[in-house]
Structure 1
Amino acid sequence: MTVPKPGTRNSLTDVAGLVVGNAEDRQVRSGTTVILCEPDLRAVAAVQVRGGGPGTRETDALAPGGLVGSVDAVVLSGGSAYGLDAAGGVHAWLGSQGRGYDVGKQRVPIVPSAILYDLSHGGDKDWGEEPPYRRLGREAALAAGPDFTLGKAGAGYGARAGSLEGGLGSASAVDPVTGATVAAIVAVNSFGETTGEDGFFFAAPFERDGEFGGLGPSPNLANPEPVFAKLDSGIAAGRTNTTIAVVATDARLDHADTHRMAVMAEAGFARAIRPIFTPYDGDTVFALSTGRGPAVDLVGLCRLGAIAADCLARAIARGVYEATGTTDWPVWRDRHATAR
């Protein structure tokens, strides 16, 4: 059987029609990531929310049976509820470009978003009545292009993943059967762990070309005790978290099929983070179809959903693997790069 291989960039922008931009405020120690449709495109979109403490904007508009069903951009941001303002900056910028949902005399941009909690992760949060996120949203939209930074960048700038520094990750794959490209981008700020005590990523069985260290699967993967030991130690005590993601494909999917891809992609969270969907997390995944690629039948949709879950698991591990030390929080590369 031919295994799906990463796309040219091994990132979300391997999906035709999408670009990505990051912006950070290093003094605040937080940032924003914008997934932007190209000017001539509005992507079919759906969303799934599974964490116990989500922070979102315009997700109800993407529910099955809704009127809109397509978007101009998706925003992932740090800043907890303050970070929802980032979508306002993107919304205003898109509106100034004449982009959005056609309501006759005007166009209204549709920009759903989700946020993660990084308020207690260092930095100066004493911003008074002027949180930086609306500005960061606009800056990220202006910076959008085919190439973008992973790790401590964008929405992943202030992120922590269990007992390690978190970050922004991405991964892609091309399905050799349908010819469709599938990809994921994620800001990893999880309550749960992405590795065992030995440093082996839980997502290792899905790794491609050594993209997050090439250590392979942990020999202790089935043993939950190291994970619980970290939780019981108080490392994660008092924290609020959330892992937020977008999966996308160039396949031509309708809204129902895009929603099914979002549902299937959620399995990627469970493959890469233990425990997942906790009361402390607001785990959310958006799904996008740009329609720039092939049409698929239901069997093809099953393939794309499974590949999306794999890409999401890989992207989570890459986000932690690519993270550098911006605080005194442990960094995976410092601890485990020689774990083999």
Structure 2
Amino acid sequence: MSHLLMSPLRYLPLLMACLSFPAAADGTKAPAHWPSMEPARQVSNAAAAPLLATARAGKRVVAVGDHGVILLSDDGASFRQAKAVPVRTLLTTLQFVDARHGYAAGHDGVVLATQDGGETWTLLRATPGLEQPILAMHFDSLEHGIAVGLYGWAIETHDAGRTWTDLAIASRESNDRHLLHMFATARGSLFVVGEGGTIYRSTDRGKSWEGTTTGGKGSLWHGLGLSDGTLLVCGMRGHLYRSSDDGKTWHAVDAHTTQSLTGIAELADGSVAVVGMGGTVLTSKDRAKTFTRVERAGQEALTAVLADGARPLLVSMSGPLAVDRPTKP
């Protein structure tokens, strides 16, 4: 048995140690003795499970995390567990193409799909035994999607996740850097960000990629394209960068913190929220040119943020969090 262990504060998407076991057979069928390939249990405290990603399925909020836990909320306040999830592995990334159709992915190379707004999920792909956790993905249609992970690894599907092929994204000089997040812009450009300030940009749906840089060395954990075309990326030690030319050049923004930043959301009133470790919440009222910082009293490890109208909905290593918890500057 070999192990790949990542520090929780160095690479947030690998918060739970990435365990590798003797290589399994090729394909999506997992041996019965793999615990992570057993269906997720219904648990009484699911709403307190560590969560790593959240997305909207129409008006519904969906969040994924450890042990195959998938939470659903139709009011942004009360959460319940999805009815059927076929795995217990750590889920790291989530996206809905429309209100009913979505994908989730994570460790063991798992890709899941739902056709009923997250109530039930089916297993499309799994490679237990290989050190290839999926850390991020992006679908630009129901059929076409790209997923990325450790050491520059990337795969692509053209048939709604039923089959996947390897995809070359990273340049030769940095092809072993971990790829940690993907996002698209209003112009249709696709970005992958990751270890050591890595940024890759594609303007042709992932057929070709070019490298760009913020000028910093810190790993990037998240990015978002705002409705006005502004781009933001954030990551380790409070690094926050802004682009106004579709990612061709980047400029540092003062985050007023050295806490690592993990998620970005644009709210209904046009303001921007950025969250991170130590209960850090940044807000901007000027299209991400400047930010103010508050620190939640509980100093939770915030892992993602989602717009809930003009308020941010926070998720963390201890589940979803109320947005009105007392804060301090």
TM-score (norm 2): 0.30
Q: Which structure is higher in strand share? A: 2
Q: Which structure is higher in helix share? A: 1
Q: Which has the higher contact order (CA 8 A, sep 6+)?
A: 1
